[in-house]
Structure 1
């Protein structure tokens, strides 16, 4: 995406950040000092306790990037063996490998980056880079969420895009990268915003993202991972005859452990969770239903509510209207 840095004119000595005529910042750096490289990359990617091993006589590193507060296109190379933890809180990062190898680990699950295959990076992860060359697109998180109209929007990180998703993302990269990286040309505010929104829209279309409930459990520890398994199981099987025992087994927890984990992180019991998911499912069916062909009783039974009166009362307490009123609003 950004060319490599063989040109010695790209070396920066004072580490200042120049700007383009329209105010975008750009940096082009090449060096061989490992400590200098770690200081530079740590400032942007919050490397924690990095551990470096040389893989050759000359640990070359370089970086190029053009960006503003909403979008940054970056390319970097670091010819060492690097292990560290990393964290980014205010951006969505899309990365794809150009050279070398990289393994990212989250919640004990490791994923190897594949050359040319873009992935959205997690907020927190362990990395192992080996003579890496990588491209990055950084998108401002708040802006993307405002664009999609969901302040809890989140990608499901480290999941490959579909073939169509790859096509959408690659088309955006081809169409807009050269223009954005033209550091010597001026882009109007409207043109800059158009490119920002094109990348953000392409990311939303291309990469798997979490449903809102998938963002309710924050944290990356083993307990958080098991609790996410419990939530995934409930959402996948809410129409089935399941209860605490089945949910706990799916999450690798004891029934007591499930109860404690749900109470600690979501302030719910397993029954509360299952009932909430079933109510959401019933509401979605009612809102989409045809009032001339849809029965409230049939939908209630399909979602595990055997007593219509109790279902209606619980539904009204949750959504502020009766099931029949939701059906009529279509």
Structure 2
């Protein structure tokens, strides 16, 4: 999505200003994969502008588009951190809708389609190359949780990096040596990882942006949040806005699981995390099994061994 470079390590810069809507859609659509955009003018003359400085790892950008814009979009190769300066914007993905708040950064949906509705929007954006971030984290499947605002501490981390490095990065008249340039990109990527929630692996198992996908994600959210509690199919279905039969059909269709399979798997994963993280002298297998809803220790041990290839006691000793 960054502009093509003859020297990938050097920064590029570009600034464009215009009033032609078709030119704006062609320009922005190239980077943000606008699909069948619909534009309505909000003033006699539609103003748009863009400024950006970047390299193959990161780019800092600002843009304005003074129209009412609706479009579908999808970005697969970069993580986009965005915060609104003015205007209004609503992002819909997976059956959920979020309104951007002025000055509050979030990460846009990654590798899944989403719809946007911008009106007279002015945005700041940081584009982080997907492979660069994943190499830095050491996880080939790493992704951020879409549209989740950072904690107060996370916001402070992000704002500190923006204040410390933006002016240096944007000053294209001052050449950065390769080490300094990489250090700044790493600082932004590291701050993003610290500031924004990462996507749990289980959420990536439900791809798609339809209403059913959104309800299924709500079911997964509920199970992961309440797995230690005495819940079952009726409670999971109610939380997802589905009938029990609808939940069963949706899980079978998308994950090839029953509600019982889902709940048991989440509980086993939670028990394993506790076993691996517990102190041997202070934790027993029986206590952990009971805390995750397994009342029969023998059946728990057998199911655990089938799933993880070792007994619960072996996991605890490995700690």
Q: TM-score range by the shorter chain?
A: over 0.9
How do 1:123-272 and structure 2 match up within 5 A?
123=110, 124-272=113-261
1:178-206 superposed Cα distances (whole Å, 9 cap, x missing partner): 11112123222222221111111111111
Residue 97 in structure 1 maps to residue 48 in structure 2 = no
Residue 39 in structure 1 maps to residue 26 in structure 2 = yes
Which region of structure 1 is more displaced relative to structure 2, 49-58 or 106-115? 106-115
- Give the count of matched residue pairs: 315
Query: Where has structure 1 moved over 4 Å in runs of 4 or more?
Result: 16-22
Alignment partner, residue 66 of structure 1: 53
- Give the distance between the partners of 2:53 and 2:109, measured in 1 at CA: 22
Using the TM superposition, give the Cα deviation of residue 176 of structure 1 relative to its aligned residue in structure 2, in angstroms.
1.1
Residue 279 in structure 1 maps to residue 268 in structure 2 = yes
1:21-73 superposed Cα distances (whole Å, 9 cap, x missing partner): 96222211111111111110111111111111222222121111111221011
Using the TM superposition, give the Cα deviation of residue 98 of structure 1 relative to its aligned residue in structure 2, in angstroms.
1.6
Alignment partner, residue 7 of structure 1: none
How do 1:7-26 and structure 2 match up within 5 A?
23-26=10-13
SS in structure 2 opposite 1:318?
helix
SS in structure 1 opposite 2:90?
strand
Q: Which runs of 5+ in 1 are unaligned?
A: 1-15
1:74-119 superposed Cα distances (whole Å, 9 cap, x missing partner): 1111122212122111111111112222222234433222221111
1:220-247 superposed Cα distances (whole Å, 9 cap, x missing partner): 1111111111111111221222222222
- Are the structure 2 counterparts of residues 244 and 118 from structure 1 closer, same or farther at C-alpha, using a change threshold of 3 Å? same
Alignment partner, residue 9 of structure 1: none
- Give the distance between the partners of 1:109 and 1:228, measured in 2 at CA: 10
Alignment partner, residue 75 of structure 2: 88
- Give the distance between the partners of 2:228 and 2:152, measured in 1 at CA: 31
**Once superposed, what is the RMSD of the aligned Cα atoms?**
2.0
- Give the distance between the partners of 1:85 and 1:148, measured in 2 at CA: 30
- Give the distance between the partners of 2:98 and 2:238, measured in 1 at CA: 26
- Give the distance between the partners of 2:241 and 2:204, measured in 1 at CA: 20
Which region of structure 1 is more displaced relative to structure 2, 194-203 or 247-256? 247-256
Confirm or deny: 8 A CA contact 1:74 1:137 kept in the other structure: yes
- Give the distance between the partners of 2:79 and 2:313, measured in 1 at CA: 41
Alignment partner, residue 15 of structure 2: 28
- Give the distance between the partners of 1:125 and 1:66, measured in 2 at CA: 26
- Give the distance between the partners of 2:204 and 2:14, measured in 1 at CA: 34
Using structure 1 for the length normalisation, give the TM-score.
0.89
Using the TM superposition, give the Cα deviation of residue 20 of structure 1 relative to its aligned residue in structure 2, in angstroms.
8.8
Using structure 2 for the length normalisation, give the TM-score.
0.92
Among 117, 120, 124, which residue is 2:107 paired with? 120
SS in structure 2 opposite 1:158?
coil
- Give the distance between the partners of 1:128 and 1:299, measured in 2 at CA: 47
Among 279, 289, 303, which residue is 2:292 paired with? 303
